[in-house]
Amino acid sequence: MILAGSAPSQTTTLGSVKDGGLARIFGEVFGSASEKMGSRIEQYAEIYGLPLLTENSTSRASVQTNPHPECFLAVIPYNHKRETLFSEASGPNSTRHILSEVLLSAEEDFEGAVRRIVKDQANLSVCEIQPIARIIRSNPAGIAQDGLVFLAELAPSQDATASTLVGRFASEPDLQLTSLEAEIVERARDVLRQKIYATPEGEVTSARRYGGLLASAIHHRIFKPLMYVLASRQLKRSLAGLVPKGKSMLDVSAGDDSFLLTMCSDRQVDFAIANDIIWGQMESSRRTARKQGLPVLFTSHNILDLPFKVLFDVVLFKNTLHHLRSQSEVIAALQNLKKLGRNIVIVDVERPTYGAPRIVNTYYRRLLNDAGEHFWTRSQFRALISEVFGTSGTKFSEIRTLKGVYMVAVVKQEL
Ligand SMILES: C[S@@+](CC[C@H](N)C(=O)[O-])C[C@H]1O[C@@H](n2cnc3c(N)ncnc32)[C@H](O)[C@@H]1O
């Protein structure tokens, strides 16, 4: 239970995983749409350690007596200067508000809904989104609305002025705020202040360029299936044998890879998060997870600033070390993994210097605009992991494939 205004600063085990997940399963089977959404809101509150803000009101038109509270999402967009958008509705009864707010439908996932709201209301796309508070609105009849406030980072290189945006970006609102709004603004500013690293623009823009139809068709119809048979299948099988068992899993840079989903269905994982800085990369995984009813939450955060406040049995960091661009990024990413996982699995391909691995790498960089270029040798990889995690709980191995040698480190921590 999270108390009003408090946010746990340390990671804890997710409640539904700790309790064997039976309450969650009963809720999924028997709960009403509103109860299901309510339990998703609770799950977010726990995963992110969200403060609970309350508002007692009878005056708001939207707050009505209802046996089932309505669930809503509120979004605060912000730009690359970390200024938040304060919007203003025009008209004779001109009202101003800091949040774009919508009621949720049972089918929609929250992260997708945030992106839709910003697209619909401002015609802008979004990179990272992060819930920052839970709001419960009550009236004399009880709880009327239960919702989440999200911060949404607008994708770089968009012309915000050319959008349908109403309002302005600022670091301080020059509006008179209600006490709830003031708390939200303060919380938003706190969260943005704590973000040390900027979103890697190169990653985001290279992924946008990758959309070329011909490149995409060649990759998905020819290269990827071929590579699956020749290399990826073997890699995944060997890796599955090395990944420790666990009830909860996090893949910090899942991309378009289905490994986490396979683990979830084969091992009956209770809860998993697939994260990637580029939301679009996980599209097919989202479809698969939805179709198969897998308990996977999809999120979009920078590995360097992961805001999760729960501990996972297994954390995966696969094929992404070579995307990190400096010493400080590498250390920040590995320290984040250290805080979040009882077992951490780090995989990266050895520096491709000749032969097939070199050709594959050139293909990824030239045709797909892959942004990763800082590859490690085996001895560098081992030295790095040993330095950050120590050697006592760390096991190294290698998996040889046509695409190259995959270096694997499995770190076991007593947390
Ligand atoms: C080579 S892909 C690997 C994807 C997947 N893990 C796999 O093994 O196939 C690298 C992924 O890392 C993501 N990525 C790169 N930098 C990131 C960052 N700072 N935070 C989160 N994800 C990042 C990219 O968007 C991309 O999907």
> Which whole number is the average pLDDT over 253-271?
94
Q: Give 281 Cα–ligand 1 centroid separation in angstroms.
A: 9
Residue 383 confidence (pLDDT): 98
Could you give the angle at the alpha carbon of 267 between the alpha carbons of 265 and 268, nearest 5°? Answer: 70
Pure H helices in 33-175: 33-48, 110-122
In this predicted model, what pLDDT tens digit does every residue of 114-139 receive, in sequence order? 998 888 877 888 889 999 999 998 88
Task: Classify residue 390 as exposed, middle or buried by CB count within 10 Å of its CB (0-12, 13-18, 19+).
Answer: exposed
Beta carbon of 276 within 6 Å of any ligand 1 atom: yes
Answer yes or no: is pLDDT of 182 > 90. Answer: no
* pTM of this structure: 0.88
Q: Give 394 Cα–ligand 1 centroid separation in angstroms.
A: 23
What residue segments make up the domains of the chain, in order of their start? 12-194, 201-412
Residue whose C-alpha is closest to residue 133's, from 175, 91, 210, 75: 75
Beta carbon of 128 within 6 Å of any ligand 1 atom: no
Q: Give 414 Cα–ligand 1 centroid separation in angstroms.
A: 27
In this predicted model, what pLDDT tens digit does every residue of 385-401 receive, in sequence order? 999 999 999 999 999 99
Ligand 1: which atom is nearest the Cα of residue 329? Answer: 19
Could you identify the residue written with the tokens 């690359």?
Answer: 80
Beta carbon of 295 within 6 Å of any ligand 1 atom: no
Beta carbon of 199 within 6 Å of any ligand 1 atom: no
Beta carbon of 257 within 6 Å of any ligand 1 atom: yes
Residue 220 confidence (pLDDT): 82
Answer yes or no: is pLDDT of 66 > 60. Answer: no
Q: Give 391 Cα–ligand 1 centroid separation in angstroms.
A: 26
In this predicted model, what pLDDT tens digit does every residue of 213-259 receive, in sequence order? 777 788 888 888 888 888 889 999 999 999 999 999 999 999 999 99
Answer yes or no: is pLDDT of 165 > 50. Answer: yes
| Least-confidence region, from 10-24, 111-125, 167-181, 369-383 | 10-24
Residues 6+ apart with CB under 8 A from 23: 16
- Name the residue at shortest CA distance from atom 12 of ligand 1: 253
Band of residue 94 on the pLDDT scale cut at 50, 70, 90: very low
Residue 67 confidence (pLDDT): 63
Percent of the chain at pLDDT above 70? 85
Band of residue 36 on the pLDDT scale cut at 50, 70, 90: confident
Band of residue 307 on the pLDDT scale cut at 50, 70, 90: very high
Compare 5 and 121 and report the one with higher pLDDT. 121
Answer yes or no: is pLDDT of 317 > 50. Answer: yes
Answer yes or no: is pLDDT of 206 > 70. Answer: no
Task: Tally DSSP H helices, then E strands, for the chain.
Answer: 14, 16
Band of residue 328 on the pLDDT scale cut at 50, 70, 90: very high
Q: Most distant CA pair in the chain: distance in Å?
A: 72
Neighbours of 249 (CB within 10 A): 27
> Which whole number is the average pLDDT over 139-155?
88
Per residue, what are the HEC states of 33-63?
Answer: HHHHHHHHHHHHHHHHCCCEEEEECCCCCCC
Residue of 199, 235, 276 to mutate, ligand 1, most atoms within 8 A of C-beta: 276
| Least-confidence region, from 56-60, 126-130, 302-306, 307-311 | 56-60
Residue 8 confidence (pLDDT): 39
Which architecture does CATH list for 12-194? Alpha-Beta Complex (3.90)
| Least-confidence region, from 58-67, 234-243, 343-352 | 58-67
> Which whole number is the average pLDDT over 194-199?
87
Beta carbon of 300 within 6 Å of any ligand 1 atom: no
Answer yes or no: is pLDDT of 140 > 60. Answer: yes
> Which whole number is the average pLDDT over 190-205?
83
Structure tokens at 221: 């119809």
Residue 6 confidence (pLDDT): 36
Look over the chain and give the mean of its residue pLDDT values, rounded to a whole number.
84
CATH of 201-412, one of 3.40.50.10440, 3.40.50.150, 3.50.70.10, 3.40.50.2300: 3.40.50.150
Q: Give 199 Cα–ligand 1 centroid separation in angstroms.
A: 13
> Which whole number is the average pLDDT over 41-56?
93
